[in-house]
Amino acid sequence: MAARARLLISYAHPDDESFGLGGLIAKYVAEGVEVYLICATNGDVGTVKPEFMKGYDSVAALRLAELDKASKILGFKEVFKFGYKDSGMMSSETAKDPDCLWQQPVEAVTRRVVEVIREIQPQVVITFNKYGGYGHPDHIAIQRATVEAFFKASEPGYETGQAPYQPQKLYYSAIAKRQIQMGIMIMRIRGQDPRHVGRNKDIDIQAIVNNAEPVHTTINIGAYSAQWEMASACHASQLGGRTTPRLPQAIRQRVFSKQGFTRIHPKPAHDRVDEHDLFAGVKLDERAIPAPTAQQLEPA
């Protein structure tokens, strides 16, 4: 069996994978990479119109079913659902629920990520940036646990009953800074306040830009925009009633044809774009092959 490239995406909600990285996932799957997903929460705080609830007894069941549909389109090798409750935004009551992801000790979540890393042995790991993209507590929680786990997974003293394993590269998904700055400009012209956006006015778009980290890697995903859209459409309950995105496909294909990443490990020497493939420089060795048993060694 040939050595396989394996990519782990460690994210928080059912829809983060499709909305954020749908094109990228489709691209790497098409190129033969085994792509795995950690979805840490059930997305049960997502606002859902009653028409979407037909056939489901909870928001969590609906949102995980939407994730299953999207996963089929994107072609994940496996999805690890951690099952934590969605925390909602920082200021909300749900973020105080003892079962929500935000209330878990980082160490407990880290352990679960280490177990996944040791099981699937990905060479490359992606998570959110330190601000969790747009300040969502669940994004921040899984980011912290994933960064910890990335390094802990190789410590022989960190016991999970599995062999230690060190992935080679760690990335944060970068936000589309230029596009967001453009959006802020348009909002200001329209007299809207970019610091209080969204249904609950708790998203600060200026802070998203202020917390953006340098981009070291850009990946061309223009050829996968159709799959990206199909996967995103699976999360219909989260599209706010829109069935089609706001911008025409030709424009979106141009504006969002590149996905940017911040390389955390190995640490870049300079803050500039220096690669166009997450697997650049990665060694694709076989998984550790278990020692043959006495039975296998016996002559036939």
Binding residues vs Zn ion (CB under 5 A): 12-13, 16
**Helical axes 16-30 vs 225-233, angle rounded to 10°:** 140
Measured from the CB atom, the residue of 7 and 40 that comes closer to Zn ion is 40
**Shortest distance in whole angstroms from residue 138 CB to Zn ion:** 6
Residue 37 Cβ, how far from Zn ion at the closest point, in Å? Answer: 13
* Of 12 and 175, CB closest to Zn ion: 12
To Zn ion, the closest distance from the beta carbon of 11 in angstroms equals 7
Q: What are the tokens at 179?
A: 């596009």
Nearest to 94 by CA among 82, 83, 104, 86: 86
Nearest to Zn ion by Cβ — which residue?
A: 13
169 versus 235: smaller Cβ distance to Zn ion: 235
Q: From start to end of the chain, where are the E strands?
A: 6-11, 34-41, 78-84, 124-127, 169-173, 217-220, 258-265
| Contact status, residue 202 vs residue 155, Cβ threshold 8 Å | no
Q: How far is the CB of 84 from Zn ion (least distance, A)?
A: 12
Please name which of 46, 11, 41 lies closest in space to residue 133, comparing C-alpha atoms: 11
C-beta of 22 vs 123, nearer to Zn ion: 22
Instruction: Name the strands in the sheet holding 124-127, side by side, starting at the edge strand that comes first in the sequence.
Output: 78-84, 34-41, 6-11, 124-127, 169-173, 258-265, 217-220
Of 142 and 153, CB closest to Zn ion = 142
CB of 101 to Zn ion, least distance (A): 10
